[in-house]
Amino acid sequence: MKKTLIAATLTTIALCGAASANAQDIQITPSGSMPSIIADPKNFSGQVVVDPLTPSSVQSPASSGLVTFAPRARTAWHTHPAGQMLIVTAGTGWVQQEGQTRREMKPGDVVWIPAGVKHWHGATSTNGMSHIAVTHIRDGRNADWMQLVTDQEYEARP
């Protein structure tokens, strides 16, 4: 019995040591430590600023950023090969799936956009909007960009 207990104890210590040797440290990225990016006008209309949240040094199956849209600013039509989650943090925005009416988003709302769904999102015509975008990556891509949303498409009433 005593030999079994000693063997079990030694095995546990060895396993704990192996686990800690392979463990990674928690990483904190200080707010403001990565520069803001003005969104590419090929993929966005209006004034849009992206503040990256996940540094490129972090191994992750998703990218993330705080995206801030001025009133009337919006993305182009696009899809995501592995889906996207939006967490609205401020203001009021719209999201629209192709072939459906646009829907309103407010602070605290969480929006899931499945892989391959053509859509756009952005601020309303009178209010800015910010959201955290968590975009899953497949085959090195997180988005497939298409044409800009026209003013007529953007202004269409539900």
Q: What is the DSSP string of 100-147?
A: S--EEE-TT-EEEE-TT--EEEEE-SS--EEEEEEEE-BTTBS-EE-P
pTM to 2 decimals? 0.81
Mean pLDDT rounded to a whole number for the chain = 87
Q: Which of 125, 97, 93 is nearest to 109 (CA)?
A: 93
The rounded distance, in Å, linking the Cα atoms of 149 and 158 is 16
- For residue 58, the model assigns a pLDDT of 63
The per-residue b/e assignment along 107-129, b for 16 or more CB within 10 angstroms, e otherwise, is eebebebeeeeebbbbbbeeebb
Q: According to CATH, what is the number of the domain 37-155?
A: 2.60.120.10
Q: Which residue has the higher pLDDT, 41 or 33?
A: 41
Q: Residue 60: is its pLDDT beyond 60?
A: yes
pLDDT digits (tens, 9 = 90+) for 118-139: 999 999 999 999 999 999 988 8
C-beta atoms surrounding 147 within 10 Å: 10
pLDDT-derived band at 61, boundaries 50, 70, 90: confident
Where is 152: in which H helix or E strand? helix 151-155
